[in-house]
Amino acid sequence: MQLRQLIPTRPIGFLGQVLISAATALGGRWQFRPKDLGRIAADCSGRAVPIVTVVNVLVGAILAFVGAVQLVKFGAGIYVADLVGIAVAREMAAIITAVVMAGRTGAAFAAELATMQSNEEVDALEVLGLSAVDFLVLPRVAALLLMMPLLYVYGCVTGLIGGMVVAAGMLQISPAAYLDRTLLALDWSHLGLGFAKSFVFGALIGMVGCYFGLYAQRNAAGVGVATTNAVVTSIVGIIVLDALFAICANALGI
């Protein structure tokens, strides 16, 4: 029996399968191996730290540089800490980290599952009575759900460090003054909004990567197409969801 007969081909149907599988797993009846979850979580966290560090430090530095150039004209250079802190916590740390993970981890999910599909390994799992969603998709989505908020927090810290370095170099603002101003500017609403975004972005990247991987064509070209579609769809979805978050946050006065 083909996989396409066992899993709905429409994205909404696939989402429903993932939610049902997650509910079953929360009841203690998961089918995936814990060591698979640990392996995927390690790949989504510790091995992604170098690129997440570099990108967020540079983004924080760029925000600080652009802000300093404008604010220094009005003698308000100290407020560059407010600019960097709020921008990083509300938007940039979550978005930039999600885009990096979409290009790194989401693409890897799509390529891995597409290769398994072309080798008929997914069909072999179904023949053995193992659901592809339970055994392959759920641990990948769960790993990103667990790791993305941690990477978001780490991205906030590294982004603030990048901004602090630029502020100290261009405006001669001491690290203590910069951190003090940042703590005054930030509140839990900014961090909570970014934290919520990281959860949603993690689920999106995981499910999009697995969806295109499972439904890839069974040839070498299909692996490349699935990987490309997963990355492009994830990035577009991240931007769309961020816009929805912005609209909701504005309506709620956050």
Q: Minimum mean pLDDT among 87-96, 130-139, 227-236, 240-249: which range?
A: 130-139
What is the DSSP-derived secondary structure letter of residue 27? T
Q: What percentage of the chain's residues is helix, strand, coil (to nearest 5)?
A: 85, 0, 15
Looking at residue 28, its pLDDT comes to 67
> Nearest 5°: CA angle at 125, between 124 and 130?
150
User: pLDDT tier at 139 (50, 70, 90 boundaries)?
Assistant: confident
Looking at residue 7, its pLDDT comes to 43
Side chain identity at 111, as an amino acid letter? Answer: A
List all residues 6 or more positions away from 189 whose beta carbon is below 8 Å from its beta carbon: 254
Mean pLDDT of 160-174: 87
Which residue ranges make up each domain of the chain? Answer: 31-252
Indicate whether 122 pLDDT > 60: yes
Indicate whether 145 pLDDT > 80: yes
Higher pLDDT, 76 or 207: 207
What is the DSSP-derived secondary structure letter of residue 3? H
Give tens-digit pLDDT for 88-109: 998 899 999 999 999 989 898 9
Give the whole-angstrom CA distance, residue 228 versus residue 32: 27
Q: Quote the longest CA-to-CA distance of the chain.
A: 71
List all residues 6 or more positions away from 3 whose beta carbon is below 8 Å from its beta carbon: 117, 122, 123, 126, 132, 214
Give the chain's end-to-end CA distance (angstroms, integer). Answer: 51
User: pLDDT tier at 9 (50, 70, 90 boundaries)?
Assistant: low
